[in-house]
Amino acid sequence: MIRYVLAIILTTALLGIGVAGVDHAATVRSEQQVETQIAKFESAAMSLLDTEEPTPSGQQGARRIVDLDFPSGGFTSKAVDTFRIRPNPKGVSLLEYSVSGRVTRTRHVGASVRNLGAANGTTIFDGHTGTVTIALSLTEARGEPERSSEVYIALRVLSKVAEASGGVRNEKAMWSLRWPEARSWRRFA
């Protein structure tokens, strides 16, 4: 009888240690996935800034389409708690993210990236799982003749596809933009 009790206690302890290890590995894996998406975003933004000419505000010019794949919450990965792209007045952007309640990390992107659909220019994907398609375009905002023009990267969210638990795509959460037929940026359900 004592052997059975000891076997159950030992099995429970080993399972507890194993589950904690899997949970930690899932968090680390999700952080690595987010870092990969940040590198993809930063590469597209810097490529646009380095190789293209800016267009006046309101006109279409060169652009980059980027698909950001956020990890889905599950047993082997954790969902993103915070993911924000904020323009900074110093001509750079701050990219903040956190996964599974861990500390918020900040990365700097060497260009000012503004979401044209948000009042303060901040792009927020807090808690999003699945794929987000964004368009980046180099834009020049011209001020008064005495002031120099300001070059920034305009960000537009083209579509969001959320994943339900288990990695199944939720079609009701998909937003799409019919490009180039749409003359204004609208959300189609």
Q: What is the pLDDT of residue 143?
A: 59
What is the number of domains present in the chain?
1
Residue 11 lies in a domain: yes
Asked whether the predicted pLDDT for residue 41 surpasses 80, the reply is yes
Task: Indicate the burial class of 129 (C-beta count within 10 angstroms; 0-12, 13-18, 19 or more).
Answer: buried
pTM, two decimals, is 0.72
Asked whether the predicted pLDDT for residue 189 surpasses 50, the reply is no
Q: What is the pLDDT of residue 105?
A: 92
pLDDT tens for 1-29 read 888 888 899 888 888 887 777 888 888 88
pLDDT tens for 48-90 read 888 888 877 667 778 899 999 988 877 778 888 899 999 988 8
pLDDT tens for 106-158 read 998 888 888 888 888 888 888 888 899 999 988 887 654 544 567 788 888 88
How many alpha carbons fall within 13 Å on the CB side of residue 151? 13
Residue 58 lies in a domain: yes
Asked whether the predicted pLDDT for residue 174 surpasses 70, the reply is no
- Domain hosting 165: range is 2-175
Q: What is the pLDDT confidence band of residue 95, given thresholds at 50, 70 and 90?
A: very high
Residue 180 lies in a domain: no
Residue 186 lies in a domain: no
Q: What is the pLDDT confidence band of residue 97, given thresholds at 50, 70 and 90?
A: very high
Check if the beta carbon of residue 152 is closer than 8 Å to that of residue 87: yes
Asked whether the predicted pLDDT for residue 176 surpasses 70, the reply is no
Helix (H) or strand (E) holding 140: strand 130-141
Residue 189 lies in a domain: no
| Phi–psi pair at 23, nearest 5 degrees | -60, -45
